[in-house]
Amino acid sequence: MIIGKEHLTLEGVNQIISIKAVFNNGLSDDLMALFPDIVPAIRPGEGCFMVKLIKSFSGKIRFQVQLSFVVTQHCRDVLLMKSLESYLGCGKASITKRGEVVFEVRKLLDQTEKIIPFFSKYPIMAIKSRDFEDFCKVANIMEQKKHLTEEGLNQIRDIRADGDGNFDIRTDFSKTTHAKHKKKILKQIRIKLHNRDIRILSRIQDYLHIGRVRADKNKPYSIYIVSTREDMIYLVKHLNGLIRLKVPAFKEACLLYNIDYKEANYNIELYDPYFSGLVDTDGSIVFNYAGNRIECNLEFQHNEYTSKLNFDSTILKSKPYIVTRKKSSAKAGSHTSSRRDFTSIAFKFQNVNSMLFIYDYFMRNRLYSNMKFYRVTQIKGFIEIRKYKNSPIFSLQGMPRRISDYPDAFAG
């Protein structure tokens, strides 16, 4: 119709509208019976695993944590969403003012006994599998009631802010590709961070002079994206020999561009900025009040790549305490079908004598996460006063450095 210029007439426009109205009218009964295969397929494009922190006027920490599993479709697919509600036995499907039908699961019990077991049995083979891993971590924290403590809330904040860099490799379904000869392509190279760390993405963009930064719609995240073929080839070539964690996807990207893959050195040398980049996106600088120290931590899912990381020489006179531990998203005593077990590996610089050397390292390799960099800058002052922890508050040693530190003590 467009080739014949019929779309330029009122009659032609009406025909196009009629054709469009019958597109995608939902799934057949046969397909509806295949929910285990269909749900992971619609999830990556139109759904999300959400972790919300909501301000509250009750409780000590003044925040509530809410987990939500959400799938959004056009309102013409309302029967599909209602069937999803019946199949999973949880959640609610409703139509919004914008003409969308939204299926949402909010109850923690439904998340741990139905949603998490379902996606553990039928894994998401897409980019948001990392979101699901974080979703499971938060669910585990909530089941143990740790989200009701300041420490647990900080853990959840760190999980939500984790970096999500990836090589987005997809099968090419364009019309120019013959059905029997589908090939894979590198669609985009992306890094996703919380909005509070957008300065990191801006720094990357300014340094490379390629790519763009955009906001993740309706979510507190921003994404750095490189999508042109020339720029992606440039990045893959210059990252070759430096990638240590996203190795399988990077190897595939090298193969697509006929680049010989080079394995990185997993012994991170003294003052190597690689460690700073990891802490910026995936690590934490923690005020450990109980231990009276400021520490630096990294934690990953344990696999053949993370287990090879060696930070023994990265920070002067400091070696990390390495912990591998089993974790589970299931309730104590729950049925095995609702369990999701995994192993994590943590690198912890938590020795009091290491604090000054941590400070020295990050002064040489600046963190671009403002919150984490601020915490590092407190180390020197903290060391000066930490020995007075047990001194009476109004003694010479225990007196606050600023009266404003304890306003209530001087009220009236």
What digits encode the pLDDT tens for the residues 4-18? 667 567 666 556 555
pLDDT of 339: 54
CA 111 to chain CA centroid, Å, is 18
Percent of the chain surpassing pLDDT 90:
25
CA dihedral 387, 391, 395, 401 (to 10 degrees): 50
Same domain, 63 and 153: yes
The CATH number of whichever domain residue 342 belongs to comes to: 3.10.28.10
Judge whether 403 lies within some domain: no
Judge whether 29 lies within some domain: yes
pLDDT of 401: 45
Same domain, 30 and 129: yes
Same domain, 342 and 290: yes
pLDDT of 226: 93
pTM of structure: 0.55
What digits encode the pLDDT tens for the residues 136-145? 888 888 888 8
Same domain, 31 and 155: yes
What digits encode the pLDDT tens for the residues 230-283? 999 999 998 999 999 888 889 999 999 999 999 999 999 999 989 999 998 889
Same domain, 247 and 295: no
Same domain, 330 and 221: no
Same domain, 214 and 287: no
Return d(Cα 235, Cα 230) in angstroms, integer.
Answer: 9
Angle formed at CA 23 by CA 123 and CA 44, multiple of 5 degrees: 20
- 28 pLDDT above the threshold of 50: no
Find the domain containing 124 and state its range. Answer: 24-159
Judge whether 228 lies within some domain: yes
- 210 pLDDT above the threshold of 60: yes
Spatial neighbors of 84 by CB under 8 A, at least 6 apart, are: 35, 39, 71, 91, 93, 103
Strand-pair partners of 25: none
Same domain, 155 and 279: no
What digits encode the pLDDT tens for the residues 123-163? 765 545 667 777 888 888 888 888 788 777 766 655 554 44
pLDDT of 178: 52
Which residue, 256, 281, 301, sits at the end of a domain? 256
Same domain, 230 and 200: yes
Same domain, 155 and 32: yes
Judge whether 301 lies within some domain: yes
Same domain, 143 and 56: yes
Of residues 389 and 320, the one with the higher pLDDT is: 320
What digits encode the pLDDT tens for the residues 284-334? 999 888 888 899 999 988 999 999 999 999 999 999 999 998 876 544 344
- 407 pLDDT above the threshold of 70: no
Which residue, 101, 124, 159, sits at the end of a domain? 159
Cβ–Cβ under 8 Å, residues 280 and 372: yes
Number of domains in the chain: 3
Q: Which of 171-185, 216-230, 322-336 has the highest mean pLDDT?
A: 216-230
Same domain, 354 and 378: yes
Judge whether 17 lies within some domain: no
Strand-pair partners of 221: 194
